């Protein structure tokens, strides 16, 4: 593939390396520090909210791929009240939470929510490309 798009989901870098062309790129989107902060603040203590960091994900990406660029996207959007239940159900932040906490969110009457994303763009590292080529030649022989 020339492009792998990995949005807000776990990554399988072994598979990325296998299916990505030598000149292909990986675009990975991870939550930023303030992603859905209104929901985080409702479910977790302030201390836990402050602790959130995506640095391990970004560092792991850079171990596996050559980082070409990193961009931040940050904005707020107005919530349509009828769509709030879908927003709450779609995020892992609320998975496994008790019904009482979920009800508190509905009663809070959220008007908007923060989207904070980090977009990381990477390519195969040169040494990885050579290893994969050598490995495939051995299988052909």
Range of the domain at 95: 3-140
Residue 121: the pLDDT is: 98
pTM over 0.75: yes
Q: Is there a contact between 4 and 20 (Cβ–Cβ < 8 Å)? A: yes
Residue 138: the pLDDT is: 47
Tens digits of pLDDT across the chain (141 residues): 999 999 999 999 999 999 999 999 999 999 999 999 888 877 766 555 556 788 999 999 999 999 999 999 999 999 888 888 888 888 887 777 767 777 777 777 788 999 999 999 999 997 544 555 555 444 444
- The CATH number linked to 49 is 3.40.50.150
Look up residue 8 and give its DSSP letter: S
Residue 35: the pLDDT is: 92
Integer-rounded Cα Rg, in Å, for the chain is 19
Q: What is the number of structural domains in the chain?
A: 1
Helices (H) and strands (E) in the chain, counts: 7, 4
Structure tokens at 16: 């990325």
């Amino acid at each position: 593939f020339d492009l792998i798009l990995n949005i807000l989901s776990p990554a399988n870098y072994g598979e990325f390396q296998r299916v990505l062309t030598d000149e292909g790129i990986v675009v990975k989107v991870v939550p930023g520090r303030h992603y859905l902060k209104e929901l985080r603040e409702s479910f977790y203590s302030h201390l836990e909210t402050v602790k959130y960091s995506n640095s391990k994900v970004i560092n792991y990406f850079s171990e596996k791929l050559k980082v070409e660029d990193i961009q931040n996207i940050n904005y707020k959007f107005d919530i349509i009240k009828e769509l709030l239940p879908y927003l709450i159900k779609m995020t892992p932040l609320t998975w496994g939470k008790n019904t009482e906490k979920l009800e508190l969110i509905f009663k809070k009457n959220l008007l908007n929510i923060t989207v904070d994303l980090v977009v990381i763009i990477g390519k195969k590292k040169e040494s990885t490309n050579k290893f994969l080529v050598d490995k495939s030649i051995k299988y052909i022989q």
